[in-house]
Structure 1
Amino acid sequence: MTKHLSTPLANSMGIQDQVSFHRTELAIILSLYGRMVAAGEWRDYGISALKNLAVFSVYRRTAEVPMYRIEKRPKLRLQQGQYSVVGMDGKVLRRGRDLKQVLRVLERKLIRAVD
């Protein structure tokens, strides 16, 4: 039995492991994104897969700074939780292990009083 810790071809080509969102995680995020677009709150998004984290950025307008960043940092999964929502000012609004619970901080913005 042989164990392959890394792929020699991938490492020799300079391809590094990247953190990315899984399909189920993206389904949860895009579901919230669709509701916020329908409410007129959000208009654009961007996804980044970096070496240490994956970021889903939300924009009100395309040429702006992101309103919110939904980040996945697998190295923090045992301490504070791997998911976090970061505001425009860089302040962490919520952090945890369950993505749905973390995104609730953004869903509160959908609830409005009806006149």
Structure 2
Amino acid sequence: MAERSNGAEDGDGSAMLIPLHEARRDRERLPVRFDRRELDQILKIYGRMVAANEWRDYAIDHLQDRAVFSVFRRTSEVPLFQIVKDPKLARKQGAYSVVAATGLILKRGHELARVLNVFDRHLKLVHA
């Protein structure tokens, strides 16, 4: 009969058993983060917009339920855009979205690269 180790080493000291429910619970406590690939894509767009003198500053927030990359024209202002990763929406409309300063969702999707395409066309303020 096999002996349960509850996170302790096996008899020969070669393996650790961690109950699946404990691993899930530990992972759920961590804040949502952008991984390296996602940050590379975001910072590529950010660099291009800084070079075009459109953006000047950014902030990254890793919250319990979502990660937010905010871009600013000036540090003292509200963000022009927010790039949001919300894993709870991954199976529905997509985990990634770009939100304007007004709260309007400009684009949402499952793939970050496609969502970031919203910045490929030059967004301008239109006066009526």
Q: Which band: TM-score by shorter chain?
A: 0.7 to 0.9
The AA in structure 2 aligned to 1:6 is E
Q: State the 4+ residue runs in structure 1 displaced beyond 2 angstroms.
A: 1-7
Across the two proteins, how many residue pairs are aligned to each other?
Answer: 105
Q: Which residue of 2 aligns with 1:28?
A: 41
Q: Distance in 2 between matches of 1:100 and 1:71?
A: 13
SS at 1:101 equivalent: helix
The root-mean-square deviation of aligned C-alpha atoms, in Å, is: 2.0
| Structure 2 residue 31 is matched with structure 1 residue 18 | yes
Q: State TM-score, norm by structure 2.
A: 0.76
Q: How far 1:2 moved relative to its partner?
A: 4.2
Matches within 5 A, 1:31-42: 31-42=44-55
Are the structure 2 counterparts of residues 2 and 49 from structure 1 closer, same or farther at C-alpha, using a change threshold of 3 Å? Answer: closer
Q: State TM-score, norm by structure 1.
A: 0.84
Q: Which residue of 1 aligns with 2:104?
A: 91
Q: Distance in 2 between matches of 1:98 and 1:35?
A: 20
What percentage of aligned pairs have identical amino acids?
51
SS at 1:71 equivalent: strand
SS at 2:77 equivalent: coil
The AA in structure 1 aligned to 2:39 is L
Asked which structure has the greater CA Rg, the reply is: 2
Structure 1 unaligned blocks of 5 or more: 11-15, 111-115
Deviates more, 1:99-108 or 1:35-44: 99-108
The AA in structure 2 aligned to 1:17 is L
Matches within 5 A, 1:41-60: 41-60=54-73
Structure 2 unaligned blocks of 5 or more: 1-16, 124-128
Higher RCO, 1 or 2 (CA under 8 Å, sep at least 6)?
Answer: 1
The AA in structure 1 aligned to 2:90 is R
The AA in structure 2 aligned to 1:48 is D
